[in-house]
Structure 1
Amino acid sequence: MTIRGLISALTQQEDLNFLLTNRIPRAALTRFMGWFSKIEQPQIRDISIACWRLFSDLDLSEARQTSFKSLHDCFTRELRPGLRPPDPDPSVVVSPCDAIIGAHGRIQDAELFQIKGAPYSLPDLLGDPALVEQHRNGRFVTLRLMSSMYHRFHAPHDCRIERVTFIHGDVWNVNPIALKRVERLFCKNERAVLQARLATGEALTLVPVAAILVASIRLHFLDVTLNARTKGPAAFSCDASVRKGDELGWFEHGSTIIVLAPGDFEFCDDVVESARIFAGQPLFRKPSVRSRV
């Protein structure tokens, strides 16, 4: 096959992927999936999980349970104790989830990017001018959860969660093809903004972004599930103290978490685009007290 033919074939494949995952009634399909996944009927459960295995690299060998009540029960599975220990170094901020590392780097004033050549802005993402100022010229990293991955997410450091804001939106697919074709996708999708502060005062913000088939985002520390049925603008003031590695909640299906950190934090050595990272592995390194003086 010639280079031109290969490029044409890849483009057609991208077109088909985008058509099948985005040019459909996304919100309706997501609501249906939320209902369907909770059906506790053994035959439906078994067929659903078998189909999921067929089209992904689903591996349940780490799961705490050996059987599941429903597809939802499998999506939101716990792992066996001790499988994701957080890095104990107090200077290290760890990944909150299992993921593929996507776009990351320095925030240029208030601009970051979802994929090379596709910028978006902190004001559009966060919707809070005061929080934008805290992260202006900071660092960001995009963590994409594949559908087959462990879907729970954890505290990246000892911190206090001060506020959660749920922002209604669309449910575009968040795969690289959609990120390349849909401008400001993360700012269009349904998302939660978790504002946290480390004991040493630095602001750390997690933005779990929903996607197609993600029926909800569960937050344990608020005892709330956020989804399209959440009424009105949902802002929750809270004072939740969490330790590094504590479970914060889960996605239903897969999606993305954007982590925003101060500009003097450095990425750890293994943070490389397209690399796989696991919850608890090093993500950022905080500067030492001496280096700030």
Structure 2
Amino acid sequence: MTVRHRLMGLLLRDDVNFALTNRLPRRSATRWMGNLSKIENPLVRVPSIALWRFFADPDLDQARETRFRSLHHAFTRDLMDGARPFDSTPKILASPCDAIVGTCGRVEAGRLYQVKGRDYALCDLLDGEADEFAEGSFVTLRLTAGMYHRFHAPHALTVEQVRYIPGDAWNVNRAALNRVERLYCRNERAVIAARLAASGHPILLVPVAAILVAGIRLHFAGDGRLLRDGGARTIPCDTRLEKGEEMGWFEHGSTMIVLAPHGFALADGIEDGARIRAGHALMRLP
């Protein structure tokens, strides 16, 4: 067994991982990491990228660049053209990002699961009511530190509104989800409200930040700053995006929750633990 596998085995133990990643000033650590990751001095850049490659084991085969100016540049790397083809079937809502599928299925009476045995209210996640999704479908998409961190329009759509909700920075891995109630409702997040261009169905994309995630950036909303820099607010939009068009990025791994109204069904193979890429079939339209 290699040194890397021994270390990962220790760090992935639930009790050790939870203690290391949550028993510290989470928001301060996250801001510190955001600043550190942008330093281009080789005395910082070289060891930080080496540690990231050692622990995160990123797949860089399709990266447009493989020599990075900073750890931030590595996290937010672009891919070569055609690296993420999107399912072109009109009846398919595609995955907006690379991910490991977490809990998924039906929203039941306005509640959904973060892990088996722990549910939370949709209105708490959204910080407001959303009756049209109360009996709909959802998929939780978890991005790891080594994954491609950009996310894309899952269908041809118009973004109508973005609401930024400040919050905590709990880790969003299984160890924390099993221990912290309503975790997604506590963390920093955004609610992106959009409407599919052809059918008119509403959908919600909810990117959720986490420990060491320096922020969420949306290319189409506001002035291009990190969302947290403007504080809690609602941003009206009228932005048309084509299927697969880039929407923004996480400045580290985190979680995206996709919500659709009643009548949508999960696509084949979408189940807890499945590994998928941006563009993979996620849900079927009614």
Contact 2:171 2:211 in 1 (8 A): yes
Equivalent position of 1:253 in the other structure = 252
TM-score (structure 1 length as normaliser): 0.91
Give the number of the structure whose alpha-carbon radius of gyration is greater: 1
**Partners of 2:138 and 2:280 in 1: CA distance:** 16
**Partners of 2:226 and 2:132 in 1: CA distance:** 25
Equivalent position of 1:120 in the other structure = 120
Contact 1:138 1:261 in 2 (8 A): yes
Equivalent position of 1:144 in the other structure = 142
**Partners of 2:164 and 2:114 in 1: CA distance:** 20
User: What letter is aligned with 2:91?
Assistant: S
Q: Percent identity at matched positions?
A: 55
TM-score (structure 2 length as normaliser): 0.93
The range that moved more, 249-258 or 63-72, is 63-72
Instruction: Sort the Cα spacing of 1:164 and 1:228 in 2 relative to 1 into closer, same or farther, 3 A.
Output: closer
Over residues 107-144 of structure 1, what are the superposed CA-to-partner deviations in whole Å (9 max), with x where a residue is unaligned? 00100010100100111000122xx1121100011000
Which residues of structure 1 form unaligned runs of 5+?
1-8, 288-293
**Aligned to 2:171, what secondary structure does the other structure show?**
coil
Contact 1:217 1:225 in 2 (8 A): no
1:23-172 equivalences in 2 (<5 Å)? 23-129=23-129, 132-172=130-170
**Partners of 2:247 and 2:240 in 1: CA distance:** 11
Contact 1:160 1:198 in 2 (8 A): yes
Contact 2:164 2:228 in 1 (8 A): no
1:198-277 equivalences in 2 (<5 Å)? 198-199=196-197, 200-222=199-221, 223-231=223-231, 233-277=232-276
**Partners of 1:263 and 1:224 in 2: CA distance:** 33
**Partners of 1:284 and 1:207 in 2: CA distance:** 16
Contact 2:133 2:260 in 1 (8 A): yes
- Cα RMSD, aligned residues only: 1.5
User: What letter is aligned with 1:29?
Assistant: A
User: What letter is aligned with 1:18?
Assistant: F
Cα distance, 1:227 vs structure 2: 4.6
Cα distance, 1:53 vs structure 2: 1.3
Equivalent position of 2:280 in the other structure = 281
**Aligned to 1:87, what secondary structure does the other structure show?**
coil
**Partners of 1:179 and 1:13 in 2: CA distance:** 14
Which residues of structure 2 form unaligned runs of 5+?
1-8
Cα distance, 1:68 vs structure 2: 1.2
**Partners of 2:98 and 2:213 in 1: CA distance:** 16
